[in-house]
Amino acid sequence: MRHILVTGGCGFIGSNFIRHELATYPELSILNIDKLTYAGNPKNLADLAGDSRYAFAHGDICDRKFLTSLLQPGGIDAVVHFAAESHVDRSILDSGPFVQTNIVGTQVLLDCCRLHGVPRYVQVSTDEVYGSLGDDGMFTEETPLAPNSPYSASKTAADLLVRAYFHTFGFPAVTTRCSNNYGPYQFPEKLIPLFISNALQNQPLPVYGTGLNVRDWIYVLDHCRGIDAALRRGRAGEVYNFGGNCELTNLDLTYALLEALDKPRSLIKYVADRPGHDHRYAIDATKAKRELEWEPKVLFRQGLKQTVDWYLANQSWVGSIRSGEYRSYYEQQYGRK
């Protein structure tokens, strides 16, 4: 495998994946296509400027002509599909862009890949397609799909399209589903970077409801290693779950961040709960360990320290985003002076 096309590679996970792949495989070249919406930031890959193995094309995965111009037969060995609208809160405000990018965009991409004989395709999805867990149990690849937000519904629809293309056309696709990611270059409307930024400015940290909703957290480079394993060793038509073995309530996560930043718990501000807020996510990654020889390596405390240190060292990156047109859902709902 020498030539990979990545969609949405200027986003959080995509940019970390591109950097990981180029560092791991010296013979590899990557073409990154990104629409550069609010969360697609070319600065995420500024360190690759001048690297002849990396190329960028600005475009929309819904644009069939654009994709066709890039997917020439024999030119691409694999496509890894990250491009998506990904924030639950934004989908609650307006689901339209999620339907267009996550569903229609995936359908157009699948058609173009099939037409041009792309030999390998990875659909990067989310554990949110499974819905919500009670206090017990874990998501496996056999858990029925039961999305509860417009975002997760759009990702579920995309996953089902991928499944249908495999069963109908024999399309060589693999799907991955992962728990909550954290790490460098995450867009500042997501919980961890938002709370770091607010705490540094002694602004309130808005915690939904009671703060007792549970998420499984995985360091982004562990996730990237999992995607790479699925790309190279996953069986076509299969789904692989990746989790961090780290379940935390949102409140406990907030406590950990405040402790890491030496900030008081008095900054916590409880706000009205998110509509349809899933209670708990937890991933069983036994299949990935068995078939792909993958398991998470980064312990949460270690990963959180690395994440906090990165944001402290890259305040100019955060500032450049906050000074633009970006306004997070939290800011729209609760204000930020």
**Beta-sheet strand order (sheet of 214-219):** 180-182, 214-219, 247-249
189 is catalytic: no
Cα 296 to the chain's mean position, in Å? 16
Render the burial of 159-184: b for 16+ CB within 10 Å, e for the rest: bebbbebbeeeebbbbbbbbbbbbbb
63 is catalytic: no
Which whole-number Å values give the CA distances from 188 to 38, 71, 195, 196, in the listed order?
11, 33, 9, 9
CA 34, 38, 44, 49 dihedral sign is positive
Catalytic residue among 127, 189, 216, 247: 127
SS3 245: coil
284 is catalytic: no
Catalytic residue among 54, 151, 219, 240: 151
Render the burial of 59-90: b for 16+ CB within 10 Å, e for the rest: bbbbeeebbeebbeeeebbbbbbbbbbbbbbb
- Biggest CA-to-CA distance, the chain: 59
Catalytic residue among 85, 128, 228, 247: 128
Q: What is the distance between the alpha carbons of residues 289 and 211, in angstroms, rounded to a whole number?
A: 31
Q: What is the distance between the alpha carbons of residues 204 and 200, in angstroms, rounded to a whole number?
A: 10
Residues annotated as catalytic are: 127-128, 151
